[in-house]
Chain A
Amino acid sequence: MTARTAPPPARRRRAGGLGPSPWWGYAMIAPAFIGLAALYLWPFLKTFAKSFMDTPAFGPGTWTGLDNYTDLLGDGDFWQAFGNSGIYTAILLLGVPIATVLAALIQQISRGRAVYRVLYFLPVVTLPVAISMVWRFIYNGDFGLLNWVLSLFGVQGQYWVADDAYAIYAIGVVGIWMSLGVNLIILGAGLQSIPPELYEASSMDGAGRVRQFFKITLPLLSPSVFLVTVLTVISALQMFDLVFVMLRSVDNTALDGSKTIVYLFYEKAFVQFDQGYGAAIAVVLLLVIMLATVLQFRLQRRWVFYD
């Protein structure tokens, strides 16, 4: 996880303020650190090591250097999965402005605000299998709800989740819908911290709602928007579950062209027993996510406003 907030400014204390010796502090954090090391650091190091190995289904592998990585670069499936994850991430980023506007609208509601929050949060706590069943019905090419609505406008529907030309986009829409709940909570919290006097003062000066949104809400909310954007990119690049539950039915022919990078990892490591190759995919994904996050932190200086 990346840092959610900037670290607090370091305050120098008088020497000895924390007690006689520093080892005590390390001892205090040891349980948490050991837990993290065992559950995250150790698997990470193992994965990293495995990415340089040719691994049989069971037992130790043999070192093959960069073979997995060079294979990866020449693997069409890998690039396709990369493209699909990129498309999915781009679609989910469209969800950030939607969530921002919705959060601002909900903030304006004086009564029943909680009802809306709950409604938008429901998808987050609903079983993925139930979600996939409902959306598969909506997207069904022959008797789906979406195509029925389109037919009312004379538009010819598609086999949204049975055709790899559309499946990743269709899944992206579900992804936006599922991510709204958490995003609205974060953005809602950000909105609460904007002093209401600013709105009162500006409306006395004759500013309308739209102008207030762009001149007050958006700049003051920008740290929250930035946070939501970073989290969205990180989670969208790791998307696996929606492909797994929506496209992995027995006869689905759209799966081939719609795999995401983590789905490909799952398939290589756990279905085809090629853990070394899977590990290489995971390491590349980690690098991409790190790069994307660093880039965003660089770019934030241009648009995020901290008061």
Chain B
Amino acid sequence: MRHSKRRSAAAAVAATALVLAGCSGGGDGDEVTLTYATWSDDQKPAMEAIAEAFEADHPDVDVEVQVLPWPEYWSTLQVGAAGRTAPDAFWMLADQFPAYAEGGQLLDIADAVADADVDLSAYPESVMDLYDTGDALYGLPKDFDTNAVWFNKALFDAAGVAYPDDTWTWEDARAAAQELTDADAGVWGIAAPIDRQGGYYNSIYQAGGQVIGDDGKAAIDTPEAVAGIEFWTRMQADGSSPTLQQLSDTEAVQMFMDGKVAMYFSGSFWAQRLYGDEALRPNVGVAPLPMGEQRASMISGILNAGYAGSEHPEELAEFLIFASGEEAARLQGESGAVLPAYDGTQQTWLDAMPEFDLQVFVDAVEYSVPLPIAGNAAEWTGLETEYLAPAWNGEQTAAEAAAAYNAAIDEVLAE
């Protein structure tokens, strides 16, 4: 009796061990499974096409695309990396990048890239700058986004205002926003939220200012930077934009899609969504951001990065190079989901949405500025609303709010 009990217990343990081994081993023999974590359902078809194309070249590798919901993406990745269970390949953003790179969580693919003769000049320099760490190379850019003016032609026509074009200055934009605003009809000329990537960072650099100075300290209180912020606070003061509260209730992009705002300064990443709305599609126009002292557009881009703790570093490096390579870039561009980073493949994206003048976004690369990142960027960007909202609401001048925010950024950077 005793014996049989022991034996069955042993059998149970053995069975459990088998099940566990089955989970991690991945079935038959020497097949390698790589997981590839992303956060976009829109891009899932393109990512799966890329995985299939890679598998065709590498029959022994199986790439599994995982789509995590955006609100959970970073906490899942962070916990996974700390618990040694992170996906092999994943999308990385510039503001999260330093923590992972400095924490030793990313796979250095510099040697593999050199062996594979990858032409690094095929990627926009300003995007490469975002992920520059000196000697190591922690991945390659997958796509990029620049900013422009999305405008509603029907609202411009109704108000008899000429469409924005590449001759536009700040003053033209401000005057047009005022003319387009029709309070009775519930229409505003422009959406002016506190939006760093699509909004005030661009105007700060257009005015010749900087967010983080060359000395690594905050520079948002300089006269140029303040002028860049005033571009937006004036729009609010003019009544040309919905208030911050209204933009809190209904996001700016939604206001634009509902025909409530005539202009929305934002990124190329909205193209597919705006294009997908067939009623809206014929009314959507694109123009370069208006000129300040100079042209400038924030540029950002996703990096295909790998986990340093991956069990298959060689295959992973090959996959990362492939996923950011020319063939993968074409697959992405054709899907219309994003503007691929690889030089010469952008035309595929433009061709996917011929009714939109998307060339504007590609042209913006020339005068693009990498999204400013320094220190614990997540912490100081998190303070932006607290310090800048009073300027947007008219409770403080732009200079006062900028000075206070500048001090707060420096305090975080000094930690």
Report A's interface with B, CB cutoff 8 A: 56-59, 136, 139-142, 144, 159, 161-163, 244, 248-256, 266-267, 270-274
Contact = CB atoms under 8 A, between A and B. Distances in A.
A159 B99 CA distance: 37
Given A162-B248, A272-B382, 10 more contacts: A136-B249, A141-B249, A142-B246, A162-B246, A251-B251, A253-B244, A255-B385, A256-B389, A273-B99, A273-B378
A141 B246 contact: yes
13 contacts: A57-B100, A139-B249, A142-B250, A162-B248, A248-B71, A250-B193, A251-B248, A253-B389, A254-B248, A270-B75, A272-B382, A273-B99, A273-B378
A66 B47 CA distance: 47
Interface in B245-260: 245-252
B278 interface: no
A159 B393 CA distance: 14
Specify the main secondary structure of chain B where it touches its partner: helix
B376 interface: yes
5 closest cross-chain pairs (CB), A and B: A58-B103, A162-B248, A57-B99, A159-B245, A162-B245
A183 to B, nearest CB: 28
A273 B245 CA distance: 29
Interface residues of B, number: 31
Contacts of A274: 379
Contact of B102 (A57, A144, A267, A272): A57
Given A58-B82, A136-B249, A141-B249, A271 B74 contact: yes
Interface in B350-397: 376, 378-379, 382, 385-386, 389
Given A255-B385, A272-B382, A273-B376, A159 B71 contact: no
A272 B375 CA distance: 11
Interface string B225-254: 000000000000000000011111111100
A141 B71 CA distance: 25
A69 B105 CA distance: 29
B376 A250 contact: no
B247 to A, nearest CB: 5
A84 B383 CA distance: 18
Contact of B105 (A58, A142, A161, A163): A58
Interface string B94-116: 00000110111100000000000
Interface of B: 71, 74-75, 78, 81-82, 99-100, 102-105, 193-195, 244-252, 376, 378-379, 382, 385-386, 389
Contacts, number: 86
Contacts of B386: 256
Contacts of B81: 58
Contacts of A163: 245
B105 A270 contact: no
Contacts of B78: 57, 270, 273
A251 B103 contact: no
Given A140-B249, A256-B386, A251 B378 contact: no
A92 B105 CA distance: 42
A191 to B, nearest CB: 39
A271 B249 contact: no
A273 B382 CA distance: 13
A159 B249 contact: yes
A264 B327 CA distance: 43
A271 B103 contact: no
A282 to B, nearest CB: 15
A130 to B, nearest CB: 14
Contacts of A142: 246, 249-250
A56 B379 CA distance: 14
Contact of A161 (B74, B103, B194, B248): B248
A253 B385 contact: yes
Contacts of A144: 249
Nearest to B389: A253
A42 B194 CA distance: 42
B90 to A, nearest CB: 15
A273 B81 CA distance: 13
Nearest to B186: A142
